[in-house]
């Protein structure tokens, strides 16, 4: 009897265990889903979060996401998951998922003036220009003959049209999106003067690739400098325009255009065409000069020290600051302060760095500066509020601030288009063959703050190098002005023309072969080295 009871109990136990095993092997009966927890977040007009799996995450799973700041004037201040702060040197973040839902919160703050892509003041450009009907050429002959993408944000477009006298014009346009490509300049030095040699020189110095290069400002024979104010990388190369003291453009002794001499300034990803001052006075404009400003921030407020000297080796009683960017010996007086600032490795608009040392010996002495490849210096007649490790920079400026925070400034000459209208002075211009027809021309225009159009019009007839009746013709200044307005320029100005007009391009983001697209009328060939030497060039390169 006892054995039967034991056997029965064993059988029941075996069946029970077997039954459990059978049930547990059936996924439809016993599968247990693990809990997924949600990550909550909100996108705004200023930023967006992406990379989050909306289906949720398991406990201890790694959550990766990125934040894209949409407002170019703001930057990330703090990123939190509930009460935990996430740290990152980039905009990529991660955290381990807990066993509960999580909320991501993002706070933004204003960018430092030093970190803004384009800190210079600019115009409010209209979304669309009003329709314009040309009178200097036949509108129904206007067409886009070809279009080639040279690289990211850069197109080479050829337009053809007939003038009223039925002469055909070929206008080469380099269209540049400054958010994707760089517009800058280079200038003749040590025998580097042709556009092609300036292209090679620029690429060697910057490790960037050039997609297009054309001639820029006029040059002054025997002077060796451009006619107008000119600056590169916050270095003033020519502070003002040529000034012979005669401001009446009708006087043949004057080199002054009927319009104010114009400049194009580049502030990071924006461009501005304007006279050096916002004034109708040519005399005031021509007498004005570019200067420097020291830039710093005080409790979040941007402050500048204006009209800073960059020449000489000491301060007079009328000048409080001296910016030193080249090696020299200075006279350091006992009451003066010398701020030594190490350059930051950055390509921002403002040249800046951090104060490494503040020098004040309390005695008069000669102080030798020999390390300006790594540092720039500021000499002051008074002790400033600066401290070691404070961030300080310098930038270009003009008397009324028109070109404040513009890093590169290239001189032009006559105004072609102003605020969407043909410049009233176009028909009055008389310098450099302004009203003479059939001249090669180079010009530049701004469609909006990020879009620049370089124009290069070839005419070998001007240099008697034409070989065929089908060779295109050049234009006079009114014809050029109407063309620039017709293709959408809100502002435009004239560069040097004649034999100086040249255009070289390279496709494939500057990796392609350099090709002459507009030949100098001095030579009439497609050889890269057959070109007029020019003082400075306009360069479109990779960022």
pLDDT at 144: 98
Question: Rounded to the nearest 5°, which phi and psi values hold at 11?
Answer: -65, -45
Q: What is the spatial distance between Cα 399 and Cα 307, in angstroms, rounded to a whole number? A: 8
pTM over 0.85: yes
Tell me which of 328 and 318 has the higher pLDDT: 328
Strands (E) located in 277-336? 291-298, 301-308, 321-324, 328-332
Asked if pLDDT for residue 16 goes beyond 70, the answer is no
Q: What is the pLDDT of residues 376-432, one digit of tens each?
A: 999 999 999 999 999 999 999 999 999 999 999 999 999 999 999 999 999 999 988
Asked if pLDDT for residue 179 goes beyond 70, the answer is yes
Q: What is the spatial distance between Cα 215 and Cα 195, in angstroms, rounded to a whole number? A: 7
Of 235, 174, 202, 219, the C-alpha closest to 409 is: 235
**In what helix (H) or strand (E) does residue 5 lie, and over which residues does it extend?**
helix 2-24
Q: And the tokens for 67?
A: 């934040």
Sign of CA dihedral 284, 290, 292, 298: positive
pLDDT at 307: 87
pLDDT at 28: 52
Domain ranges of the chain: 36-111, 141-225+417-542, 292-397
pLDDT at 357: 98
Q: What is the spatial distance between Cα 490 and Cα 477, in angstroms, rounded to a whole number? A: 17
The residues with which 310 forms a beta bridge, in sequence order, are none
Asked if pLDDT for residue 278 goes beyond 50, the answer is yes
Which residues have C-beta within 8 Å of that of residue 222, sequence separation ≥ 6?
none
Inter-residue contact 201 to 519 (CB < 8 Å) = no
Please report, rounded to a whole number, the percentage of residues in the chain having pLDDT higher than 70: 94
320: burial class by Cβ within 10 Å (0-12, 13-18, 19+)?
middle
Q: And the tokens for 459?
A: 């005419």
Average pLDDT of the residues in 294-298: 96
Asked if pLDDT for residue 27 goes beyond 70, the answer is no
Q: And the tokens for 112?
A: 């430092």
Asked if pLDDT for residue 25 goes beyond 80, the answer is no
Q: Per CATH, is 292-397 categorized as 2.60.120? A: yes
Average pLDDT of the residues in 280-294: 95
**In what helix (H) or strand (E) does residue 195 lie, and over which residues does it extend?**
helix 195-206
Inter-residue contact 137 to 479 (CB < 8 Å) = yes
280: burial class by Cβ within 10 Å (0-12, 13-18, 19+)?
exposed
Q: What is the spatial distance between Cα 40 and Cα 85, in angstroms, rounded to a whole number? A: 16
pLDDT at 191: 85
Average pLDDT of the residues in 508-526: 97
Q: What is the pLDDT of residues 82-104, one digit of tens each?
A: 989 999 988 999 999 999 999 99
pLDDT at 19: 43
Cα end-to-end span (Å), the chain: 96
CA distances from 520 to 226, 264, 308, 465, 532 (A): 19, 23, 41, 10, 7
Q: What is the 3-state secondary structure (H, E, C) of 91-131?
A: CEEEEECCCCCEEEEEEEEECCHHHCCCCCCCCCCCCCCCC
DSSP-derived secondary structure letter, 539: E
DSSP string, 239-275: -S----S---TTSTT----SSPPEEEEEETTEEEEEE
pLDDT at 220: 72
Q: What is the pLDDT of residues 440-462, one digit of tens each?
A: 999 999 999 999 999 999 999 99
pLDDT band at 470 (very low <50, low <70, confident <90, very high): confident
Mean per-residue pLDDT of the chain:
92
pLDDT at 319: 79
Asked if pLDDT for residue 30 goes beyond 50, the answer is yes
Asked if pLDDT for residue 291 goes beyond 90, the answer is yes
Average pLDDT of the residues in 340-347: 94
- Give Dmax over CA atoms of the chain in angstroms: 139
Q: What is the pLDDT of residues 99-119, one digit of tens each?
A: 999 999 999 999 999 999 999
pLDDT band at 222 (very low <50, low <70, confident <90, very high): low
Average pLDDT of the residues in 137-145: 98
pLDDT band at 32 (very low <50, low <70, confident <90, very high): low
**In what helix (H) or strand (E) does residue 359 lie, and over which residues does it extend?**
strand 351-359
CA distances from 460 to 469, 477, 521, 530 (A): 11, 18, 5, 13
Inter-residue contact 137 to 161 (CB < 8 Å) = yes
377, 382, 387, 392: CA torsion to nearest 10: -40
Tell me which of 517 and 307 has the higher pLDDT: 517
Of 401, 404, 491, the C-alpha closest to 448 is: 491
Of 348, 449, 426, 392, the C-alpha closest to 121 is: 449
pLDDT at 219: 80
Q: And the tokens for 261?
A: 């001499």
Q: What is the pLDDT of residues 481-492, one digit of tens each?
A: 999 999 999 999
């Amino acid at each position: 009897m006892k054995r039967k009871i034991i056997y029965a109990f064993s059988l029941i136990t075996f069946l029970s265990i077997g039954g459990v095993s059978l049930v547990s092997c059936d996924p439809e009966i016993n599968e247990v889903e693990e809990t997924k927890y949600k990550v909550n977040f909100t996108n705004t007009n200023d930023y967006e979060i992406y990379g989050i799996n909306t289906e949720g995450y398991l406990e201890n799973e790694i959550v990766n996401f990125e934040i894209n700041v949409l407002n170019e004037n703001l930057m990330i201040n703090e990123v939190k998951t509930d009460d935990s702060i996430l740290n990152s040197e980039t905009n990529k973040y991660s955290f381990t998922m807990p066993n509960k839902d999580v909320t991501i919160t993002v706070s933004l703050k204003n960018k430092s003036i030093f970190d803004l892509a384009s800190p210079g003041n600019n115009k409010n450009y209209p979304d669309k220009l009003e329709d314009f009907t040309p009178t200097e050429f036949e509108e129904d002959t206007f067409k886009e003959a070809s279009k080639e993408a040279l690289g990211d944000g850069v197109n080479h477009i050829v337009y053809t049209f007939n003038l009223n006298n039925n002469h055909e014009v070929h206008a080469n346009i380099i269209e540049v999106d400054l958010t994707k490509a760089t517009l800058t300049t280079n200038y003749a030095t040590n025998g580097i003067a042709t556009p092609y040699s300036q292209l090679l020189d620029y690429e060697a110095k910057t490790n960037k690739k050039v997609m297009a290069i054309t001639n820029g400002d006029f040059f002054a024979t025997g002077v060796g400098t451009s006619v107008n104010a000119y600056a590169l990388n916050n270095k003033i190369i020519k502070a003002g325009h040529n000034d012979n003291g005669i401001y009446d453009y009708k006087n043949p002794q004057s080199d002054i255009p009927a319009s104010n001499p114009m400049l194009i300034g580049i502030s990071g990803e924006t461009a501005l065409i304007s006279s050096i001052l916002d004034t109708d006075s040519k005399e005031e404009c021509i007498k004005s000069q570019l200067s420097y400003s020291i830039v710093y921030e005080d409790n979040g407020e941007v402050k500048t020290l204006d009209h800073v000297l960059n020449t000489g080796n000491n301060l007079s009683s009328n000048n409080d600051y001296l910016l030193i960017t080249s090696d020299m010996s200075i006279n350091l007086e006992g009451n003066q302060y010398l701020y030594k600032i190490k350059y930051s490795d950055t390509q921002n608009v403002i040249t800046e760095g951090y104060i490494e040392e503040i020098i004040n010996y309390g005695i008069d002495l000669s102080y030798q500066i020999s390390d300006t490849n790594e540092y720039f210096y500021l000499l002051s007649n008074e002790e400033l509020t600066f401290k070691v490790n404070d961030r300080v920079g310098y930038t270009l400026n003009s008397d009324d601030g028109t070109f404040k925070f513009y890093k590169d400034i290239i001189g032009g000459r006559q105004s072609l288009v102003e605020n969407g209208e043909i410049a009233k002075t176009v028909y009055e211009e008389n310098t450099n063959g302004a009203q003479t027809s059939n001249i090669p021309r180079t010009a530049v225009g701004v469609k909006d703050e990020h879009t620049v159009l370089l124009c290069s019009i070839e005419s070998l007839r001007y240099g008697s190098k034409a070989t065929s009746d089908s060779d295109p013709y050049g234009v006079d200044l009114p014809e050029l002005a109407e063309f620039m307005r017709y293709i959408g320029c809100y502002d435009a100005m004239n560069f040097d023309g004649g034999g100086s007009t040249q255009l070289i391009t390279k496709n494939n983001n500057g990796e392609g072969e350099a090709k002459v697209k507009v030949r100098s009328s001095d030579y009439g060939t497609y050889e890269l080295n057959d070109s007029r030497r020019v003082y400075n060039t306009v360069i479109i390169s990779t960022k």
